[in-house]
Amino acid sequence: MEDKIKALQEEINQYTVQNEEELEAYRMRFISRKSVIGDLLASIKDVAPEKRKEAGIMLNQLKNASQAKFKELIGELEAQKASKQQYDVPDLTLPPIPDELGSIHPLTQVRNRIVEIFERIGFQVVDGPEIEDDHHNFTALNFPPDHPAREMQDTFFIEKNPDIVLRTHTSSVQVRMMEEGEPPFRAIMPGRVFRNEAISARAHCVFHQVEGLYVDKNVSFADLKQTLLHFAKELFGPETGIRLRPSYFPFTEPSAELDIWWGNESEADKRITKGTGWLEIGGCGMVDPYVLESCGIDPEEYTGFAFGMGIERIAMIKYQIKDLRLFTENDIRFLKQFSAFN
Ligand code: DAH
């Protein structure tokens, strides 16, 4: 009996627990009714009477020790649990999870900015269809049938005779606006346009334009020039220069090409600007009296200016992008660079 008690005392001293199950195993072995200690207490009657008292004392000590150890083990397990919980609290020193929000496409950002600039000086935004009839895309804009000027723009045809086309420019929306309303008009018309052109760093078959139209009494070429200069300075900064080069469009008279200063230092600058430093971003002019008349507006009473600019071209200048194709390739590494401008 004595040896057994000593062995059990030793076992209790060595005991450790890692979890609830092990604690329960301890309880079953040493504390419960059917524990080894319970068994020994029951068998004390078999001990020789002269040794019984001593055995009783030892057994009692063992029982107390086993209970004290039990409390100790409970305490240890709780402490273990508490320290584990500390790990569940987020570690605030870890680096943040990267923000994977998308960003607004650079062309949309530029379009929004253009709209903002013109809205502030009283232009409204007007929309028109991408699939157009010949009348709105060409005839009403003074492109006579079979006139070579139609070949300025390589057209995608959807139907022939009568012709239905993908609009080659946003100027078609000017016609719709003037036909449907009464002057004065002061609007910009951003949108997608289509031309049957080979894709290169400078040209694409799908691109974006923003058209402008201002028709009222006494609108002059000076108004056009000031409006464009104001726009360029707002968009590119106060130092920006513009250049108007005489040109030809069937629907304006006089007509001009609008250039923005890009720079002429690097090889790429020279390639992009064909060695001039200037980049053409659109056309403009005074609305041809014939166009006003064919849209039901009296050219004796009203005059107007119009312009059409390429949004890709403007974005290229603003962000120094040297290849037009980047806008449509949707390479995330390219697009990501514009999230800061949102
Ligand atoms: N529609 C012309 C083009 O796509 C651009 C243009 C030139 C628009 C002169 C105009 C304008 O409104 O007045 O090349």
Closest Cα to atom 7 of ligand 1: 283
**Stretch 68-91: mean pLDDT:** 84
Residue 144: exposure state from Cβ atoms within 10 A (0-12, 13-18, ≥19) = exposed
- Residue 313, ligand 1, Cβ within 6 A: no
- Asked whether residue 40 falls in the same domain as residue 170, the answer is no
What single-letter amino acid sits at 57? I
Phi, psi of 117 (to 5 degrees): -65, -45
- Asked whether residue 190 falls in the same domain as residue 58, the answer is no
- The CATH number of residue 167's host domain is 3.30.930.10
What's the number of domains the chain is made of? 2
Residue to mutate (ligand 1; options 175, 189, 249, 288; most atoms within 8 A of CB): 249
Taking the CA of residue 211 as reference, the ligand 1 atom at the shortest distance is: 12
Residue to mutate (ligand 1; options 152, 174, 207, 307; most atoms within 8 A of CB): 307
Closest Cα to atom 12 of ligand 1: 307
Q: How confident is the model at residue 83 (pLDDT cuts 50, 70, 90)?
A: confident
Structure tokens at 327: 């806008």
205-227 per-position pLDDT tens digit: 999 999 999 999 999 999 999 99
**Stretch 286-303: mean pLDDT:** 97
C-alpha 58/C-alpha 83 separation (Å) is 37
**Stretch 118-130: mean pLDDT:** 98
- 35 in Cβ contact with 70 (< 8 Å): no
- Residue 252, ligand 1, Cβ within 6 A: yes
Q: Would you say residue 154 lies in a domain?
A: yes
Q: Would you say residue 21 lies in a domain?
A: yes
- Asked whether residue 65 falls in the same domain as residue 213, the answer is no
C-alpha 334/C-alpha 312 separation (Å) is 15
- Asked whether residue 75 falls in the same domain as residue 115, the answer is no
pLDDT surpassing 90 at residue 250: yes
Residue 342 confidence (pLDDT): 58
Q: Would you say residue 93 lies in a domain?
A: no
- Asked whether residue 122 falls in the same domain as residue 170, the answer is yes
Strand pairing report for 278-287 and 252-261: antiparallel
- Asked whether residue 72 falls in the same domain as residue 186, the answer is no
Is the pLDDT higher at 340 or at 267?
267
- Residue 173, ligand 1, Cβ within 6 A: no
143-158 per-position pLDDT tens digit: 988 777 677 678 999 9
Of the ranges 37-41, 69-73, 99-103, 222-226, which one carries the lowest mean pLDDT score? 99-103
pLDDT surpassing 80 at residue 94: yes
- Residue 183, ligand 1, Cβ within 6 A: no
Percent of all residues in the chain with a pLDDT value above 90, rounded to a whole number? 66
**Stretch 192-198: mean pLDDT:** 94
Q: Would you say residue 263 lies in a domain?
A: yes
Q: Which of 54, 87, 120 is the last residue of a domain?
A: 87
Closest Cα to atom 4 of ligand 1: 169
Residue 139 confidence (pLDDT): 94
- Asked whether residue 124 falls in the same domain as residue 158, the answer is yes
pLDDT surpassing 80 at residue 190: yes
Q: Would you say residue 292 lies in a domain?
A: yes
Taking the CA of residue 282 as reference, the ligand 1 atom at the shortest distance is: 5
- Asked whether residue 129 falls in the same domain as residue 157, the answer is yes
- 114 in Cβ contact with 210 (< 8 Å): yes
Taking the CA of residue 152 as reference, the ligand 1 atom at the shortest distance is: 14
**Stretch 306-327: mean pLDDT:** 93
Which of 185, 181, 176, 145 is closest to 162 using CA atoms?
A: 145
Residue 142 confidence (pLDDT): 93
What is the span of the domain harbouring residue 240? 106-341
- Asked whether residue 71 falls in the same domain as residue 140, the answer is no
Q: Measured in angstroms, how far is the CA atom of residue 175 from the centroid of ligand 1?
A: 12
Taking the CA of residue 251 as reference, the ligand 1 atom at the shortest distance is: 13
- Residue 214, ligand 1, Cβ within 6 A: no
Q: Measured in angstroms, how far is the CA atom of residue 264 from the centroid of ligand 1?
A: 26
- Asked whether residue 119 falls in the same domain as residue 248, the answer is yes
As a whole number, the mean pLDDT across the chain is: 91
- Residue 306, ligand 1, Cβ within 6 A: yes
User: How many angstroms separate the Cα of 333 from the Cα of each of 60, 138, 149, 197, 341?
Assistant: 77, 40, 41, 27, 15
- Residue 307, ligand 1, Cβ within 6 A: yes
Strand pairing report for 164-166 and 124-125: unpaired
Q: Measured in angstroms, how far is the CA atom of residue 70 from the centroid of ligand 1?
A: 92
Q: Measured in angstroms, how far is the CA atom of residue 48 from the centroid of ligand 1?
A: 121
Residue 271 confidence (pLDDT): 83
- 153 in Cβ contact with 169 (< 8 Å): yes
pLDDT surpassing 90 at residue 279: no
C-alpha 281/C-alpha 244 separation (Å) is 11
- Asked whether residue 136 falls in the same domain as residue 279, the answer is yes
Q: How confident is the model at residue 278 (pLDDT cuts 50, 70, 90)?
A: very high
Of the ranges 73-77, 176-180, 214-218, which one carries the lowest mean pLDDT score? 73-77
Q: Measured in angstroms, how far is the CA atom of residue 106 from the centroid of ligand 1?
A: 23
Q: Measured in angstroms, how far is the CA atom of residue 283 from the centroid of ligand 1?
A: 5
SS (H, E, C) 233-252: HHHHCCCCCEEEEEEEECCE
How much is the CA Rg of the chain, to the nearest whole Å? 43
Residue 262 confidence (pLDDT): 82
Residue 189 confidence (pLDDT): 98
Strand pairing report for 185-194 and 206-216: antiparallel
Q: Residues 55, 58, 62, 63: is their CA dihedral positive or negative? A: positive
Residue 228 confidence (pLDDT): 97
Which of 213, 187, 219, 180 is closest to 303 using CA atoms?
A: 219
Per-state percent for the chain, helix, strand, coil, to nearest 5 = 45, 20, 35
pTM: 0.71
Q: Name residue, tokens 């760093």.
A: 201
- Asked whether residue 201 falls in the same domain as residue 290, the answer is yes
Q: Name residue, tokens 């166009």.
A: 291
